[in-house]
Structure 1
Amino acid sequence: RDVRDRLVAELLGIAPPGVPELASPSVLVARDLAPADTAGLDPAKVLALVTEEGGPTSHTAILARALGIPAVVAVRGLLSWDAQALAVDGDAGTVEIADPSAPVVTATKAQLADWNGTGATSDGHRVKVYGNVGSPADAQAAADAGAEGVGLFRTEFCYLDASDEPSVAEQRAAYTAVLSPFRGKPVIVRTLDAGADKPLAFLSPEAEPNPALGVRGLRVAFDRPEVLDRQLEAIAGAAEDSGAEVSVMAPMVATVEEAAWFAERVRAAGIARAGVMIEIPAAALSAREILEAVDFVSVGTNDLAQYTFAADRQLGAVAKLNDPWQPGLLRLLKLIGDAAKATGKPAGVCGEAAADPRLALVLTGLGLTSLSMNAPAIRTVGASLATATLAECEALAEAASATSDPAAARAAARP
């Protein structure tokens, strides 16, 4: 729709839709923003972003976090407010009408965080703090923020503008550029997560009545295994070129059989460590058996919440169901943490839940072993982990999981 509106504006010779030029630093209020609008925001001018629609794990919200802009979404009735100024707390998710004559105050936890660069609780229990990246600029930002490695490299960003499948050499060069800032450090590369909201022209996907439940992620590779094999060849070459310690994981895995099929192809490509993402409730319920077939798992909490609560992550009307503090979601995460302990293998989180500094303590208490997030949250989460012992994290996790709604879970996890 955004592209359509821009084309129509061009044909009519009128100003394209989007964010107007801001004369001074402001809180930006909108019904919703297209991801292209969000990606182009200037953090020096946009102090905060508030929308009436959208969800906390929509791509607009994720882009806002990547830019370090506090954002609150799905504020019902927002556009009917009579306000000249707003006070926005992106961490708490609150928006209040403010006094326009009051001085402008801005602060981010990243600016306030004091972290020594090693992810660990106060009693030394290691929880590695990684970055989520999708481009060379993302990778450099994560390295500059002190990330101990990369927990999620979204490779589909190398494909999105391609009408034909990039060659192995082209892919290898693109991946090397992203991996290079992490020479000697762990990087988890996610194989192509095409389909649903990320269609790729060269795969010629057929129209589906419900793409989120259709052929996406690893399911594409079942029909086109040669695409996966070429990507694995390029990843192996990029690992050699960059010197990064590369592992590979597959998205949208539902069963043990799928996990084992993927791991076999990864090892055949000469890559030592194979893992899968847990984004489907069935995979969470089979986490122990899946971990026996692969070397690690990583939880995509955005999609895991979407599929657990049958709530579209882009839709503001059901945004509350996609709250990562939902006790039902926390209980699923505990199953995964317990499976990691039982098998002695790592289980990380690379969804948006990992960027919440308080929830990071709960995730640690649930047994997750690494947390991966966009660069602006890295120092904040690292500093938060250092404020509590493992036993305190476990107590917070137990208290939050025992509640009946997200608000109660947040309250139970307060210091």
Structure 2
Amino acid sequence: MSGTQLVGVGVSPGQAAGPVVRVAEPLPEPSAGPAPADAAAEAALIKPAADAVVAELNRRAAAVEGESRVVLETTAAMAADPALLAEAEKLVRDRGLPAPRAVFEAANGFATMLAAAGGYLAERARDVHDVRDRIVATLLDVPMPGVPTLTAPSVLVARDLAPADTAGLDPALVLALVTEEGGPTSHTAILARSLGIPAVVACRGVLALDPAGLVVDGGTGLVTAPGGTVAAQAVARGPKVEWNGVGKLADGHRVKVLANVGSAEDAKAAVATGAEGVGLFRTEFCFLSATEEPTVAAQREAYAAVLAPFQGKPVIVRTLDAGADKPLPFLNTVEEPNPALGVRGLRIARESAGVLDRQLEAIVAAAADTGAEVSVMAPMVATAEEAAWFAERARAAGVTRAGVMIEIPAAALAAREVLDAVDFVSLGTNDLAQYVFAADRMLGALATLNDPWQPALLRLIALVGEAATATGKPAGVCGEAAADPDLACVLTGLGLTSLSMNNAALTQVGARLAGVRLDACQLAARAALAAKDPAHARTAAHAALH
């Protein structure tokens, strides 16, 4: 096809074409002056504006189902956060800021804190910016940011999309999504797959191109601007995907389909969606804003709220993942020149063993309180010696199953020795990818390197699968690589025994696994391993599975 061609990262398969509708850029920074004449009256404007945003998001949530509803309700809860509103009101009173500027600065402070926490929590910073812009727009009485009202089927082009924007999309009107930024593991990418909308992220140059129409291939990431008018052509949609809630291949081979959670709300949504358990419970939320270490009792209560919906089901709890790049005041971390490679995760736990011991005590108690089948794993483990140290500590605290995350290449290369020391391992493919390729996964410009279909990444994962098979111990995936239905089949073919993902992906992945046999998964895995790049890996695996 003639015309200008761009290549991004395909995150939701399917081909579509049509006229472009461009999503407006984020609002500019609101002015820091002039100071309001009546600070109390100005501060009083903030809550009604937030209430209006909450009401609109809840109205949209009531019109949709499943993960889209959860995303919209979660965003509404962020907009109603008393801590955010109180901080904004305080900035009006103490610094004389206009209400829009106060909301802007308060939200940025919260977003910065989330970004510093890294991983899943860092990705939620985008949600806070979305809430910020909605409240500011309401205060300024300007159009709300986000997707404009569509009157005809169109291809949406944006710098990035907030999850709340993606959650409300109508697949009958949105032919495809193309974003300049974003990454393959973003919530937006996962929601696009769940809605069946072809999507390409990290498509550099699409905004400058400003095309009238586009042809989008969400599988290969190819985006073509033929020039002139492009007739609307929708992706062919099959029947609604259904899953019976049991992770099992067509030949009966078991693969647990689990959820990644970070809060009680996440846990309730995961149960409602049909998760067989939890493959990753991130405990950072209990520590995120703490200036002092939470007591064992406070931790026990917080963990129990997440574990309770999973009585009698497996839950893997990850111990605190913190360090110089994710600072917590009570840990007294020192500034480091390269904190992502510094004292973090298990390394800081070894320096502050009392903090780890108290967390383990709280986890064991919360498990007893709720009846969940709890296992515990440590983050950022590099060697078999570190794995053995953690397993001994965890078992001494009463943990019955102790494991570690494999997110450092050295641990993948020494997977057999690591597995000799623990009961199970879980691959954190998001962090493993960024360490393999020396590419920050939060940078859209490097999204192609963090594509989970990268053959080099898959070859490391294969080493872990082989070690798990040889030792007879479980090895799972808790990175968002598991959220791609075809890639989930490849991971199964590589020998992994459980797949843990965002709630939005559970039904699609479970249904996809139910329709294939283990030999097809193994054939797809061999094809992907032999590919020269992510696009060829996707294509080869897809062909093997169909």
* TM-score of the alignment, normalized to the shorter chain, above 0.5: yes
- Aligned-partner Cα distance in 2 for 1:276–1:255: 10
**2:482 aligned partner:** 354
1:290 to 418, 428, 431: 418
Q: TM-score, with normalisation over the residues of structure 1?
A: 0.88
Following superposition of structure 1 onto structure 2, how do residues 182-221 of structure 1 map, counting pairs within 5 Å? 182-195=310-323, 198-221=326-349
Question: Is 1:229 the counterpart of 2:354 in the alignment?
Answer: no
Structure 1 SS opposite 2:456: helix
**2:463 aligned partner:** 335
**2:190 aligned partner:** 65
**1:142 aligned partner:** 270
From the superposition, tell whether residues 331 and 85 of structure 1 become closer, same or farther in structure 2 (CA, over 3 Å): same
Deviations 1:147-184 (A, max 9, x none): 11000001102211222211111111111111111100
- Aligned-partner Cα distance in 2 for 1:196–1:358: 36
- Aligned-partner Cα distance in 2 for 1:287–1:263: 15
1:241 to 369, 391, 399: 369
2:167 to 39, 43, 54: 43
1:203 CA displacement: 2.0
Deviations 1:320-360 (A, max 9, x none): 11111111111111110110011100000000110010001
From the superposition, tell whether residues 29 and 231 of structure 1 become closer, same or farther in structure 2 (CA, over 3 Å): farther
Letter of the 2:453 counterpart: W
CA contact (8 A) 1:56 1:313 kept: no
1:391 to 511, 515, 519: 519
Q: Mark the runs of 5 or more structure 1 residues left unpaired by the alignment.
A: none
From the superposition, tell whether residues 149 and 27 of structure 1 become closer, same or farther in structure 2 (CA, over 3 Å): farther
2:149 to 15, 24, 28: 24
**2:541 aligned partner:** 413
Structure 2 SS opposite 1:321: coil
**1:324 aligned partner:** 452
**1:257 aligned partner:** 385
Question: Computing the radius of gyration over CA atoms, which structure comes out larger, 1 or 2?
Answer: 2
Structure 2 SS opposite 1:348: strand
1:204 CA displacement: 2.9
CA contact (8 A) 2:147 2:165 kept: no
- Aligned-partner Cα distance in 1 for 2:516–2:253: 10
**1:268 aligned partner:** 396
Question: Is 1:171 the counterpart of 2:299 in the alignment?
Answer: yes
Q: TM-score, with normalisation over the residues of structure 2?
A: 0.68
Question: Is 1:369 the counterpart of 2:497 in the alignment?
Answer: yes
CA contact (8 A) 1:66 1:375 kept: no
How many pairs align?
A: 404
Q: Mark the runs of 5 or more structure 2 residues left unpaired by the alignment.
A: 1-25, 34-87, 89-96, 105-131, 135-144
Q: Which moved more, 1:44-53 or 1:404-413?
A: 44-53
Letter of the 1:383 counterpart: A
1:299 CA displacement: 0.1
Letter of the 2:425 counterpart: V
- Aligned-partner Cα distance in 2 for 1:331–1:85: 38
1:284 CA displacement: 0.4
CA contact (8 A) 1:119 1:385 kept: yes
- Aligned-partner Cα distance in 1 for 2:423–2:342: 27
From the superposition, tell whether residues 150 and 91 of structure 1 become closer, same or farther in structure 2 (CA, over 3 Å): farther
CA contact (8 A) 1:236 1:271 kept: yes
1:24 CA displacement: 2.7
1:80 to 200, 208, 217: 208
- Aligned-partner Cα distance in 1 for 2:265–2:216: 28
